[in-house]
Structure 1
């Protein structure tokens, strides 16, 4: 099922919801559709354009949001789906300092890795192997990472996410330098 970007009344990105939830918000008059996906939903008496981006009519106060949650999907987005050691397609998660040696499960200690590198590294430090990281792991920041970390992406969302750091985030994901 397609997903829809939800913006606050101030155009601040709030999150991503399933199309069905977004459509209920629009039909209840709680949100307005800013971008259509190009698809149409049919009922017995109506045809409605499926939204891709909706904006709430009333401002919703969002409590303080801590750091971006460390999920497998967000980690692969941060690392562009590439192994932090060799650059191959990543299929697993690796702790730079192994957990068996006191490493924490935190953004600055976790990288995406290919199966081969993860197997060879096992529970050793990279210094023991003479390896180097292609990039230093760090926690992502910005509201755009909360959206991009969900794994749902739509090019129609980009203009609404750009003011919140989407250019840098998408450049890291796609491997293209930010303009």
Structure 2
């Protein structure tokens, strides 16, 4: 049961993703309500059948002081699609500072990208332009909603109304 469930705060803002058993337990213990369920899949016990949750909403508001995406190696790999941003390979991946640290480059979302060891060695202590390497995508810091929607793996269609930014809703 590798399916995931979108967890919403009491104000319907996206909070996190959890496993189906955890979501079912929250609903069963009346700590959350079922917002969307799978039409084809069910949770079965010996004598009962329950809808499989895809989206739940917590009854109590959870205040998160920081609602951003942590800067980690795996999150940068996810953002970059587990591909070298210079040649496109998926082998021997590592992180590269676009502006080298020795030249004052920072360790942040806008200066880190995924690179294979070969391209990273070729680039060395140069900028991509100096090493004659072209970046496939410019590094960026994803918002929490965009990260959940675009980089967390397979998502359920029922999540989409809760994973759009206000700007996207206005222009749709």
Is TM (by shorter chain) over 0.5?
yes
Instruction: Give, in whole Å, the separation in 1 of the partners of 2:73 and 2:153.
Output: 10
Instruction: Give, in whole Å, the separation in 1 of the partners of 2:165 and 2:106.
Output: 32
What's the counterpart of residue 26 of structure 1? 27
Q: Label 1:151 to 1:74 Cα distance change in 2 as closer, same or farther (>3 A).
A: farther
What's the counterpart of residue 49 of structure 1? 51
Give the structure-1-normalised TM-score: 0.74
* Partners of 2:146 and 2:163 within 8 A in 1: no
What's the counterpart of residue 111 of structure 2? 109
* Partners of 2:122 and 2:131 within 8 A in 1: no
* Partners of 1:19 and 1:50 within 8 A in 2: yes
Q: Which has the higher helix share?
A: 1
For these two proteins, the number of residue pairs brought into alignment is 166
User: Which 4+ residue blocks in structure 1 deviate beyond 6 angstroms?
Assistant: none
* Partners of 1:11 and 1:160 within 8 A in 2: yes
In the TM superposition, what is the alpha-carbon distance from 1:12 to its structure 2 partner? 0.4
Instruction: Give, in whole Å, the separation in 1 of the partners of 2:152 and 2:137.
Output: 22
Q: Label 1:121 to 1:24 Cα distance change in 2 as closer, same or farther (>3 A).
A: same
Question: 3-state DSSP class of the match of 1:124?
Answer: coil
What's the counterpart of residue 172 of structure 1? none
Structure 1 gap ranges (5+): 168-177
Question: 3-state DSSP class of the match of 2:165?
Answer: helix
Q: Does 1:68 align with 2:86?
A: no
* Partners of 1:145 and 1:166 within 8 A in 2: no
Choose 110-119 or 18-27, whichever is displaced more.
Answer: 110-119
Instruction: Give, in whole Å, the separation in 2 of the partners of 1:66 and 1:131.
Output: 34
